[in-house]
Chains A and B, each alone.
Chain A
Amino acid sequence: AQTVTQSQPEMSVQEAETVTLSCTYDTSESNYYLFWYKQPPSRQMILVIRQEAYKQQNATENRFSVNFQKAAKSFSLKISDSQLGDTAMYFCAFMKRNSNYQLIWGAGTKLIIKP
């Protein structure tokens, strides 16, 4: 069975700083997807970034980038130039290829951006 571990329950940084959220996962699958979702106080689950395991290149979306280490089964999220609006819960999630969005979720990291 697949598991996803987020070892940082809570983090806080000053606005404009860079912060890295950790995620490790365990799987015997070779084809899969990894995601970072953001859940602000509004409760909306918002996709931040997505990585396909067969792609060597790390995904990037504006200020958000990942460090995907397949052999180490690590998938960390880096947020550059953090903004107050980045304050939210961040969830790492795993999905086997062709598994119909049967996402396996981590416990989440609460990120607080301080002014």
Chain B
Amino acid sequence: DSGVTQTPKHLITATGQRVTLRCSPRSGDLSVYWYQQSLDQGLQFLIQYYNGEERAKGNILERFSAQQFPDLHSELNLSSLELGDSALYFCASSVSGKTNTEAFFGQGTRLTVV
């Protein structure tokens, strides 16, 4: 167990809908990262938050947004869902945003858009 908790584990929703994925980082970790793993695109970095502020943005669609709350948990909001958004969404956390620290991954949320 990495200590990073993602909920829900599975989510099935219809096209056009909006969903929220939740991530609780390891205790003491200030940085949260979101990744998408899809059959078409493979694994890609979406976005990073550090202590409540956005730090880095990757290949995140405009229909997607994220935030990190004062208690350091993070949410990834996906709206106007399309079939191609079906993927495994990972959250990872690390103590700081520095790359000499290890990032620990959650077990992911499997999103299926039908």
B105 touches A100 (CB 8 A): no
A47 touches B48 (CB 8 A): no
Name the prevailing secondary structure of the A interface residues.
loop
Interchain CA distance A93-B44 in the complex, whole Å? 10
Given the known inter-chain contacts A100-B97, A103-B45, please indicate yes or no for A44 contacting B56, CB distance below 8 A. Answer: no
Residue in B94, B107, B110 whose CB lies within 8 Å of A44: B107
Interchain CA distance A105-B102 in the complex, whole Å? 16
Given the known inter-chain contacts A42-B107, A103-B35, please indicate yes or no for A91 contacting B43, CB distance below 8 A. Answer: yes
Instruction: Please name all residues of chain A whose beta carbon is closer than 8 Å to the beta carbon of B103 when the two chains form the complex.
Output: 47, 101
**A45 interface residue, CB < 8 Å from B?**
yes
Q: List 20 A-B contacts (CB under 8 A).
A: A43-B108, A44-B2, A44-B106, A45-B90, A45-B92, A47-B102, A47-B103, A91-B43, A99-B56, A100-B31, A100-B48, A100-B99, A101-B45, A101-B103, A102-B56, A103-B43, A103-B45, A105-B43, A105-B44, A108-B42
Interchain CA distance A30-B48 in the complex, whole Å? 23
Question: Count of chain B residues with Cβ under 8 Å from any Cβ of A?
Answer: 27
Interchain CA distance A42-B33 in the complex, whole Å? 20
Interface size class of A (residues with CB under 8 A): 20 to 34
Instruction: Please name all residues of chain A whose beta carbon is closer than 8 Å to the beta carbon of B31 when the two chains form the complex.
Output: 100-101
